[in-house]
Amino acid sequence: MLTKGDDYPLHQTPEPVAYVGANRNFYDRFFYNGYNKSGEIFFAAAMGVYPYLNVMDAAFSVVVEGVQHNVYASKSMHMERLDTNVGSIGIDIVKPLVEHRLTCDDKENGIVSDLVFTASMPAHEEPRFTRRAGTQVVMDITRLMQNGTWSGWIEVKGKRIEIRPAEYRGTRDRSWGVRVGVGAGDVQTNPYAPEFQFYWLWSPMVFDDYTAHYFVNEDASGDAWNRNGMIFHSGGEAEQVQATSSKLQFLSGTRHASSAEVTFIKSSGEELNFKISSKWHFYMKGIGYSHERFGHGSYHGELETGYDEFVTADVGPENIHIQAMCDVVCTSSEGEAKGQCVLEQLIVGPHGPSGFTDVLDFAP
């Protein structure tokens, strides 16, 4: 069960706050994204706490007119987990599980913002993610997700963008637990570790009267080891669906989907079919995921900051971890509904249903 304490970075095990444990790869992370209804402006942020490593890092990224601007920061946290300010980036939990404030004050690089996320639904605890390789825990995490609206402003290179809740929506999550890839890699090889493989899809889909949420992890054969489908109605009711499936069509020469089909089957037997069409990509390296310099949990001394920018259309296909800005159409017994969604994709290694046989081969 989630409590207000689970919105603070104080976890020491993959369980909610109550239990204490220790693992080098333990982390506690905030993630946010936001976008306007036209799908032309997108921003995201991440902040990670790594108690064993005594490191806290953060990043803020915004895409305007096809250019992704990325601000990074990392610090030694001196065991003070509640000081959630890293360089120019800060997070303030105004009201747990309801309202968060996200700020960035990188005047040197022209990226300044003051944003407030307000939940539009109760926080949802996803099914626990647990994965082992022999005796080693590869992943054991709890995660909550929550949709909401954004208010405030962002200034990019002197241009101010007003963020109004009627126009800007998004999703946040909080995750904590153990996962590989925190800071420097392990020195000793795990003899039971197979060839690295990871298949991940995640999509919050927003419609006028409800939100649908889908995710799946699959192994190399395409068998799901964790998956979930939820419908969150505008009145606050959460509906667990009984079965889900998905299928991607890939852009040639990439591991990125041009389109996707997701199917939900309710307990009543009713089917909801979601057809997702990708428009453009946000690159997750802009908030530290597999970033070559500011990767999550990497040590940079007392404080180090950084900035980069790139044209999203020019980024190479080897940058496989993305959140695609998409249109979505849902067909059900009630007819057709049009909406907006983000489709996160991270596909590494073999995946039979997709036709991938190597670590990083691409679609024909």
DSSP secondary structure letter of residue 81: T
Query: For the chain, how many helices (H) and strands (E)?
Result: 0, 23
- Its CATH class, for the domain covering 4-184+194-354, is mainly beta
Cross-strand partners of 344: 202, 323
Residues 21-59 have pLDDT tens digits of 667 888 999 999 999 999 999 999 999 999 889 999 999
Which residues, including other chains, have CB under 8 Å from residue 189's CB and lie 6 or more apart? none
d(Cα 202, Cα 209) in Å, to the nearest integer? 20
d(Cα 280, Cα 288) in Å, to the nearest integer? 20
The answer to pTM > 0.75 is yes
DSSP secondary structure letter of residue 356: B
Q: What is the DSSP string of 201-242?
A: EEEEEE-SSEEEEEEEEE-TTS-EEEEEEEEEETTS-EEE-S
d(Cα 118, Cα 265) in Å, to the nearest integer? 30
Are the C-beta atoms of 123 and 146 separated by less than 8 Å? yes
Cross-strand partners of 168: 36
d(Cα 115, Cα 117) in Å, to the nearest integer? 7
Whose CA is closest to 219, among 56, 351, 65? Answer: 351
Alpha helices (runs of H) in the chain, residue ranges in sequence order: none
Read off the tokens for 94. 């105004």
User: 108-135 as b/e, with b when 16 or more CB fall inside 10 Å?
Assistant: ebebbbbbbbebbbebbebeebbbeeee
Instruction: State the pLDDT at residue 18.
Output: 46
d(Cα 362, Cα 364) in Å, to the nearest integer? 6
DSSP secondary structure letter of residue 9: S
Which residues, including other chains, have CB under 8 Å from residue 324's CB and lie 6 or more apart? 256, 257, 278, 279, 280, 281, 282, 342, 343, 344, 345
End-to-end CA distance of the chain: 45
Instruction: State the pLDDT at residue 91.
Output: 98
Parse the chain into domains and list their residue ranges.
4-184+194-354
Neighbours of 302 (CB within 10 A): 8
Neighbours of 208 (CB within 10 A): 8
Whose CA is closest to 201, among 342, 328, 326, 337? Answer: 342
Helix, strand, coil tally for the chain in percent (to 5): 5, 55, 40
Instruction: State the pLDDT at residue 8.
Output: 84
Stretches in the chain below the pLDDT threshold 70: 3, 17-22, 183, 185, 187
Instruction: State the pLDDT at residue 106.
Output: 99
Q: How far is CA 166 from the centre of its chain?
A: 23
Cross-strand partners of 28: 49, 176
* The Cα angle at residue 53 between residues 52 and 57, in degrees rounded to 5: 120
Instruction: State the pLDDT at residue 348.
Output: 97
